[in-house]
Amino acid sequence: EIIVVDDGSKSDQATKTLETVETILERFGGRVIRQENAYLGAARNTAARAGTGEFLLFLDDDDLAFGNLVSTLVRAAIMTGSEIINCPNLFMEESRRSEGLENLESFNQKVSHFPIGGPLSLGTQQNVFGSATALIRRETFDKIGGYTEMRGVGYEDFEFMLKVVQAGGKIEICPEPLYLYEVDRPSMISQTSPLRNYRRIVNAREIQPNEKAI
């Protein structure tokens, strides 16, 4: 089940590309959902509401998925019973995108980012849980309430995973890189305030009765 959310694209190029994508998706029962720009958390929630599967897997427009991304993560989820399955990725410079598309699963690059899935004590300081391209059980997604919807603030995936672990959920890491992540071009994180982004994490942290807020 493939659902593409157009979160308020304005450029002619994006509009034309999405029209082409929509035509292709219709052949496979997929669809494009268009909405006014509401930012990443809201866009992900829109896709989740439209989906009907047992699992959710979000893929941003700067990611290129290997052909076995979905099947590998689903097998890992079934075998481990984990709420979230994440995996490493390979960085791909924007100038190498055409190379990545042509040689997707043989792209010459060392593992660039390897999450460890926890522990919670470290996860409140930095994102050790992994990137947004992860397999999530729908039951868990709904129980947490999806992503919080904040405009102009990043770390919505970091915040969501922190909440899952705080609720007793488990994040397992499949040790195989399963997608390319495009770098060297403007991103949501590079265009948002680091202070506001991290404040989102601080506000999501649950303080236990025997802890003191700093």
pLDDT in tens, 169-212: 999 999 999 999 999 876 767 678 888 988 999 999 886 644 44
pLDDT score at 115: 95
Residue 107: pLDDT over 60? yes
Residue 12: pLDDT over 80? yes
Question: What is the CA 22 to chain-centroid distance, rounded?
Answer: 22
pLDDT score at 185: 73
With contact defined as beta carbons under 8 Å apart, do 181 and 112 qualify? yes
User: For the residues 144-158, what does the mean pLDDT come to?
Assistant: 93
- Residue 93: what residue type? E
Tell me, yes or no, if the pTM score tops 0.85: yes
CA distance 62 to 89: 12
Q: Which long-range contacts (CB under 8 A, 24 or more apart) does 189-193 make?
A: 189/154, 189/155, 192/152, 192/153, 192/154, 193/152, 193/153
Segments in the chain forming alpha helices (H): 12-26, 40-50, 69-80, 97-102, 120-123, 138-144, 156-166, 194-204
User: For the residues 25-46, what does the mean pLDDT come to?
Assistant: 94
**Residue position matching structure tokens 């079934």:** 78
Question: What is the dihedral sign for C-alpha 68, 92, 87, 155?
Answer: negative
